């Protein structure tokens, strides 16, 4: 049997950085609507529930519906081609968001963004896992995950100021169109690795069976199932609070949109990036002694967030709000890299895209789909009795679901086979 090819360190790092840049564009285009939503609300006369549909549920439901079959395809086909096509679709659809004339058209464009973005992360995770051995995967995936927060930083910063000076429609066009160029770079420079290239044992070459059977087999692993639910409720809090934070500080603290974008970019971008990188580094370091740290680290981070976020939401001191929210974002961001790293360790290399897609299915249905929607519905229900304070109480209620997420992570660690 011939030895496996090994990529050079410099090319392996190039792959990681390029895929992180793809993730940056992914989150710029996904989250740009959040900073623009108050302007869109005013322009189109929308309710908080409609905003939640645009920023959360409509995106998430199509993202996850398409995500698992695309991931199953990626476990058998060329992952680079799938990523290239995904970037192209979501970039074009983001630009189209700036050309709509009704809520329905904007909703359909956001659905298109969700469908496009469904094909990015699972094959990217799989490629990274093939290029990096287990002992450094947490770190590699944490670097990839930083793309979330760089994307949020750029999206909030650029979106806020472009909206203030040129309007929300221009913001969609400015952030959407450059993705087409990125797709070309990925297609021309990213090489498809051999599956299992960095693993001690080769990938299973046998037929993997039907998609439904593969999904059932993965979900039957208790640690995988509980970690997916832990990630879901971590994201339920993260998306629920973050997606309405611009509206919260505009309505209750009267901040202008440009300043809101700047503060959120710095607090969420830098705080989240620190947390994402720390999650991978800490879990890799401690996981050498006990693999349960790959679930204990996100569990503890999610628990800390449950304690911190109420202080940010209840204070009337704006500076204190941003400081506490900064540390809350660090805590919430610890979860993703160790969760994916351990999930990939639990499955065969030919099921890693599917494993990522299943985690993202749970994460996005519970988190992105239901988090903002729950905040929006509670806020609308409380509006007649509490006025503008309704949003504060809705976000506060949702923040405490982090306790449930932490509990699921600790269960995942308990059931992990050592």
Q: Is the pLDDT of residue 2 over 50?
A: no
Closest to 339 (Cα-Cα) out of 408, 241, 242, 239: 408
Closest to 35 (Cα-Cα) out of 278, 343, 246: 246
Task: Give 65: exposed, middle or buried? Use CB within 10 Å, 0-12, 13-18, 19+.
Answer: middle
The whole-number average pLDDT for the span 350-359 is 83
The whole-number average pLDDT for the span 198-218 is 66
Q: Is the pLDDT of residue 405 over 90?
A: yes
Give the pTM: 0.78
Of the segments 7-21, 79-93, 116-130, which one has the largest average pLDDT value?
79-93
Q: Is the pLDDT of residue 7 over 80?
A: no
Count the residues in the chain: 418
**pLDDT band for position 203 (50/70/90)?**
low
End-to-end Cα spacing for the chain: 30
**What pLDDT does residue 360 have?**
84
Average pLDDT, the chain: 87
**pLDDT band for position 222 (50/70/90)?**
very high
Q: Is the pLDDT of residue 275 over 90?
A: yes
What does the CA dihedral 313, 61, 279, 140 come to, rounded to 10 degrees? -150
Distance (Å, whole) CA 234 – CA 249? 22
Q: What is the pLDDT of residues 11-49, one digit of tens each?
A: 989 999 999 999 999 989 888 888 888 888 888 888 877
- CB neighbour list of residue 31: distance below 8 Å, 6 or more residues apart: 151, 152, 155, 156
Buried b (16+ CB within 10 A) or exposed e, 119-150: bbbbbbbbbbbbbbebeebbbbbbbbbbbbbb
- CB neighbour list of residue 283: distance below 8 Å, 6 or more residues apart: 138, 293, 294, 297, 337, 338, 341, 342
**pLDDT band for position 148 (50/70/90)?**
confident
**pLDDT band for position 209 (50/70/90)?**
low
- Please tell me the least confidently modeled range out of 29-38, 195-204, 229-238: 195-204
**What pLDDT does residue 214 have?**
80
What domains lie within the chain, and their CATH numbers? Answer: 9-196+210-414 (1.20.1250.20)
């Amino acid at each position: 049997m011939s030895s496996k090819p090994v990529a050079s360190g410099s090319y392996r790092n190039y792959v990681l950085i390029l895929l992180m840049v793809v993730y940056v564009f992914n989150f710029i285009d996904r989250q740009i609507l959040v900073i623009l939503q108050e302007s869109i609300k005013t322009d189109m006369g929308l309710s908080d529930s409609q905003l939640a549909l645009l920023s959360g549920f409509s995106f998430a439901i199509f993202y996850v519906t398409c995500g698992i079959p695309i991931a199953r395809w990626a476990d058998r086909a060329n992952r680079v081609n799938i990523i290239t096509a995904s970037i192209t679709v979501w970039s074009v659809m983001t630009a189209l968001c700036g050309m709509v004339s009704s809520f329905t058209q904007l909703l359909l464009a956001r659905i298109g963004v969700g469908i496009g973005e469904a094909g990015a992360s699972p094959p990217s995770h799989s490629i990274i896992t093939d290029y990096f051995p287990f002992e450094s995967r947490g770190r590699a995936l944490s670097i990839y995950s930083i793309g979330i927060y760089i994307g949020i930083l750029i999206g909030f910063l650029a979106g806020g100021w472009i909206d203030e000076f040129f309007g929300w429609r221009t913001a969609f066009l400015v952030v959407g169109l450059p993705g087409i160029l990125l797709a070309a770079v990925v297609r021309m420079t990213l090489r498809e690795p051999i599956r299992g290239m960095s693993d001690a044992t080769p990938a299973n070459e046998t037929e993997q069976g039907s998609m439904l059977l593969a999904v059932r087999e993965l979900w039957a692993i208790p640690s995988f199932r509980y970690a997916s639910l832990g990630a879901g409720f971590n994201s339920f809090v993260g998306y629920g609070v973050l997606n309405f934070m611009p509206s919260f500080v505009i309505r209750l603290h009267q901040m202008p949109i440009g300043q809101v974008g700047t503060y959120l970019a710095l607090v969420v971008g830098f705080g989240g990036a620190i947390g994402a990188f720390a999650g991978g580094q800490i879990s890799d370091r401690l996981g050498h002694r006990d693999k349960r740290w790959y679930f204990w680290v996100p569990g503890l981070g999610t628990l800390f967030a449950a304690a911190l976020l109420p202080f940010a939401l209840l204070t009337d001191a704006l500076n204190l709000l941003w400081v506490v929210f900064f540390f809350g974002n660090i805590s919430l961001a610890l979860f993703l890299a160790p969760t994916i790293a351990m999930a990939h360790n639990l499955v065969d290399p030919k099921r890693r895209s599917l494993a990522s897609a299943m985690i993202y299915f749970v994460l996005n249905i519970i988190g992105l789909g239901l988090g903002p929607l729950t905040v929006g519905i509670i806020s609308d229900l409380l509006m007649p009795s509490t006025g503008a304070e309704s949003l504060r109480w809705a976000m506060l209620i949702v923040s405490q679901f982090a306790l449930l997420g932490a509990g699921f992570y600790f269960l995942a660690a308990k059931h992990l086979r050592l």
